[in-house]
Chain A
């Protein structure tokens, strides 16, 4: 198709034609076009359908405020719903489709809703669809949901990358129109660090869309020259295609740079978009103003648009939207559209409401064909193919209200101005501050920059600004045309009409928030940028109050909708969070280990051997062989904290419920750490390596919170204790070697004597291995076997696992993973993550005797509250099935035999369940009410989720070696 509506002029590159399709039909445009301007150049006015009534709609704006021209952009996994055609920079090969229409944009079946509009008033759905009760979910809602939404997601993974970053500046200037550029020049020349962000791909703002001159040059040329000068300044950073989305606390702004949205596919390694967090000392909002329409009957037909947009398409993009144009305005700015279009040879009729003339209706289903005008002479119909409407301009103050500051009304421009109590450090300049002429915008921009810089101690030289038009705002407010019974649209996307506001008023939804929520006014993808003030004005008239008395509209971030991908940045897929690898990871990978995520860590879960087809075979072998001979396990992930200082022992006495200051040098003790509320926070062993030197281990999960807690105790609670802390979790590769042959195995590697006499149970010390490598040895056991943990500098962790495996060969030693570790700790009756659930006390765990009441330790006092020590509370028990063949399930609840499985009979639950290959059946730990007195009792373990129940017997939680003979062996 040819670009029939293309006229001369504009800032498009006619030497670079670009091909694109809309609803499958091929068109061409030019570099510098938006999708909207290119479609309009090709005579396409119908671009979408409205949300509720499926009314045919065209573009009404030339910017990000667009409510109507939403398309699905691109295809396949890159499909992008609800994209505003007015901000899509045209590229070669662009594909766009209309949305929310079926079977086609021109003939949309759901346009039936428009015929039934009298039933679909604001809030009608709250009053009906209630009978019969079951029908809402079965009948009504599915119909409504099918009709809901605008565009669609692809349901495929987004293939693009996104970046995030941080920028720092003295002054952020939001918007690069005349005010923003003048501010930037002033600031740039002062030497301050300046960032200028503009959502457009071409900086200049309205200067690119107007015909008036700045000091003899066209506005666009002046803008281009100024941008070039700014670009040459090393202290100025220009961010075109960058939308500042929100003002956050303490001068932090969010901004989205669209790096690759103007090309078909991002270059390799390059992001589609970047989220910049901009840290500013000052910011200036120079975001211009947004024109608003005047509501009249059937004011939503394709071809009826904002007057300023109409002339922007003509001036910037060389597009005549229509050949017979009407301009309906209540202010002088609308007249500019008429004069600019006439200068391009287009016939324009002006309906100026200030003379008493009004447009009262329009005709044309898929595009406006005529309007009805009422003036002193009466009513007449004018044939048109485009209408420009100007109801005045609203300062684009969105960001100034992000901290919930209330905008203030200004009668002179009949619009709200930015709140005086906006975000700290933010001022407004130019049209965003109500300075509407070009001259005012330039001088105000420069002045606001100078003021901000002066606050920061910079001296700004006076800017040499060109002379420019300085026309006053001449407006006589007209918000909506009072006429017949038809509908006049306020919120075009959500189909909110003047009538809806009237109904809301009638039903007492009069506060602005009620109005908004009841009618959905301003809730569409444009967030009411063009419509909100009109809605307020209608309500004001109905309540007999002024607009500011009726309320203000404040905006929330983001300024325009933001792709969720860019807010996630690179934290998606496998890179959602970093991965921590253990020192034996390389070796384990070579063995074909199965890994499991444990927090950020990847740990070996089990190590299958040839011939093993189920995980149980591997785990059973690892357990049995460890108990029979020896097993090796990487336990590096346990937190390690180096605690030194002359008061280190006293410190440990306060953070552990049990006593540590009495621990001898070269000894290890199991410690129980409570939260101040008396619940168990963590457990682990702490070794006394020297007089003033301890090494604490924490659980893998709590390494970070425990360290934080210890620092709190050290710095905040007892600031004069001589204690120093540092984490050494990563510094040491630590392996557990367990089983009857553990000593023999280790002795092959350890250079010193580790006989029971030389290195008894719960001993620790610094040793060397493999001919002189410094290492640490701890004789501790989680499995219940004779066991050691040996630590070597992490860089030798890989070599050490290989040494251990080699040394273990003669004993048929195995390497075991977290599953076998779990089996053995349950067999031994040690509590772990499932028991350390933050809801349990030491008493619950059967460790009440460890809580020393002779000293003031964290959590001791509150652990003694009546409800926590009362009879009948949960106590740790062991559980075995009466029939060994029956498997148990963790999370099953204890129910007395013969009682129904209801809450009254809920006796507790099975916390951890494993299959014990040693015993040949399932075993479990559990919390059972009064469990310490119920050994031998028979109950049921009920799992209602699976519909199973198992007869069980309550036993000691120590299934293996309750006397601890093995570990002392």
Chain B
């Protein structure tokens, strides 16, 4: 079924009887050409692009719970391509371009909203680093602007300009950055994949991999064995758990990242903003909630919940940046499990097992990467070669000393 304004009107006038399921609930087949493990944003996007762009068939996506229940359903919805390093920027710019055409592509309004992202700076050194980054972005075909303090004031007059411990000196802006209705991304990809024949199988947990002579044969699941020619794993925070089933140790740790939303408020913040002297970033959703977050809790965790110190740290940042939010109320907080890699950058690569592919290490930046991650993983699965924007995302980069360390923090995941 194609969605459109006309369809909405027609259904409204006929009692909404014609709407069909957004995706089917098929029973698993005995075997597929491709199995995608993980029904989060990246897995769903992979299945979608595998079917749509790479014209592959006999694809199943296995999800242990309900689709979209991982980080695509619990993030702060930001999209941007304001990366510094050569290994990253082309990929994230590719992702941003995919976002820009996504809704027409998968016929679902995910509310891609390019209202701009602004990274504030408070020191000359930060300004220099942002200048380097902004130039790198433009050289890679992205957009960037360096704003003065007065430019920032014109945009957001209510920020703390006059009583700040760390005064705002300006910001790096990317106008094409913005936000997307996160759940809708999962549903749009799911619906698009389903329409192209992908079997989305929920409540189907992969419990093991069957291999023979270093080649994958299929997966053991809570709903029985399913054969596959190729298996792609895209399970984010569960990466180490899943890959442990083939005794692979990964260059990553799982950490909890909390995110927050306030009660609904009349519009005050148009775009996305990050504080440069503390851990706080914020945007305002179309429903009016301030959606904000900060740093990860900092310890290994699979608990999908965090603790108060980070909540307080984030709100301290919020108050330091915009003292008006003292009287806004935090409505809800949640935690997601981040696959924090050793250099803060992801991996989309083959594994030591033939036919088994891995996608992970997204840290807390996986949401914005969703389209390109799916596209590039589909490319790898279908062609056995890395997509041209994802050539750096290899396992062996650590052995070779080719880390992609945007923050320069080294092999300590909780600092990325």
Contact = CB atoms under 8 A, between A and B. Distances in A.
Contacts of B119: none
A571 B136 contact: no
B304 to A, nearest CB: 6
Nearest to A705: B415
Contacts of A383: none
Interface in A350-397: none
A838 interface: yes
A511 B202 CA distance: 10
B7 interface: yes
B358 interface: no
B408 A157 contact: no
Contacts of A517: 68, 73, 183
Contact of B328 (A153, A509, A867): A153
A572 B323 contact: yes
B327 A153 contact: yes
A525 B263 contact: yes
A568 B316 contact: yes
A127 B326 contact: no
Contacts of A154: 324, 327
A577 B278 CA distance: 10
Nearest to A946: B146
A400 to B, nearest CB: 14
A249 B400 contact: no
Interface string B81-117: 0000010011000000000010110011111111100
Contacts of A556: 305, 332-334
Given A507-B19, A513-B73, A838-B409, A148 B108 contact: no
Contacts of A911: 128, 132
A141 B107 contact: no
Given A562-B330, A564-B326, A946-B146, A868 B308 contact: no
Among A79, A524, A567, A679, the most chain B Cβ lie within 10 Å of the Cβ of A567
A78 interface: yes
B315 A568 contact: yes
Contacts of B286: 141, 144-145, 148
Nearest to A837: B408
B154 interface: no
Interface string B62-79: 000110110001000000
Among A150, A517, A906, the most chain B Cβ lie within 10 Å of the Cβ of A517
Given A403-B305, A562-B329, A567-B330, A868 B401 contact: yes
A137 to B, nearest CB: 6
Contacts of B69: 513
A246 B361 CA distance: 31
B248 interface: no
B163 A891 contact: no
B391 interface: no
A569 interface: yes
Interface stretch (B20-28, B206-214, B223-231): B20-28
B353 interface: no
Nearest to A873: B401
B367 to A, nearest CB: 15
Contact of A404 (B278, B305, B332): B305
Among A277, A571, A834, the most chain B Cβ lie within 10 Å of the Cβ of A571
Interface in A248-294: 248-249, 252, 254, 275, 277
A573 B164 contact: yes
A253 to B, nearest CB: 9
A149 B329 contact: no
B264 A945 contact: no
Interface string A798-832: 00000000000000000000000000000000000
Nearest to B261: A523
B155 interface: no
B122 interface: yes
A148 B164 contact: no
B125 A833 contact: yes
A834 B128 contact: yes
Nearest to B156: A155
Interface in A903-932: 903, 905-906, 909, 911-913
Contacts of B288: 145, 148-150
Among B86, B136, B278, B329, the most chain A Cβ lie within 10 Å of the Cβ of B329
Interface string A162-178: 10100000000000000
A677 B408 CA distance: 11
A574 B165 contact: yes
A834 B268 CA distance: 35
A153 B265 contact: yes
Among B307, B308, B318, the most chain A Cβ lie within 10 Å of the Cβ of B308
A571 B320 contact: yes
Interface in A486-507: 499, 503, 506-507
Given A51-B264, A564-B326, A944-B139, A133 B103 contact: yes
Contacts of B101: 133
A137 B12 contact: no
Interface string A668-685: 000000011111000000
Contact of B316 (A557, A571, A839, A943): A571
A605 to B, nearest CB: 10
A24 to B, nearest CB: 19
Interface residues of A, number: 122
Interface string A561-601: 11111011101111111010000000000000000111000
Contacts of A868: 401
B135 interface: yes
A640 interface: no
B50 to A, nearest CB: 22
B13 A118 contact: yes
Contacts of B110: 126
Interface in B153-182: 157-158, 160, 163-167, 181
A865 B397 CA distance: 10
Interface in B109-158: 109-115, 122-123, 125, 127-136, 138-141, 144-146, 157-158
Given A128-B8, A679-B408, A903 B86 contact: yes
B388 interface: no
B312 A909 contact: no
Nearest to A572: B319
B352 interface: no
A114 interface: no
Contacts of B181: 126
Interface in A636-682: 675-679
Contacts of A892: 131, 135
A848 B246 CA distance: 40
Contacts of A579: 165
Contacts of B311: 254, 567
Given A563-B329, A568-B315, A945-B131, 7 more contacts: A51-B264, A127-B8, A131-B4, A525-B263, A866-B401, A945-B145, A946-B146
Instruction: Sort A-B residue pairs by CB-CB distance and give the 3 closest, nearest first.
Output: A838-B408, A891-B131, A149-B288
Interface of A: 51, 78-82, 118-119, 121, 124-131, 133, 136-137, 141, 144-146, 148-158, 160, 162, 164, 246, 248-249, 252, 254, 275, 277, 402-404, 499, 503, 506-509, 511, 513-514, 517-518, 520, 523-525, 527, 556-558, 561-565, 567-569, 571-577, 579, 596-598, 675-679, 833-834, 837-840, 862, 865-869, 889-893, 901-903, 905-906, 909, 911-913, 942-946
22 contacts: A81-B328, A148-B287, A149-B288, A152-B268, A153-B328, A154-B327, A156-B158, A156-B324, A246-B308, A403-B303, A506-B20, A508-B21, A508-B24, A513-B66, A558-B330, A575-B165, A597-B165, A834-B128, A862-B401, A891-B130, A903-B140, A944-B134
Interface of B: 3-5, 7-9, 12-13, 16, 19-25, 65-66, 68-69, 73, 86, 89-90, 101, 103-104, 107-115, 122-123, 125, 127-136, 138-141, 144-146, 157-158, 160, 163-167, 181, 183-184, 187-188, 202, 262-268, 277-278, 285-288, 303-305, 307-308, 311-312, 314-316, 318-320, 323-334, 397, 399-403, 405, 407-411
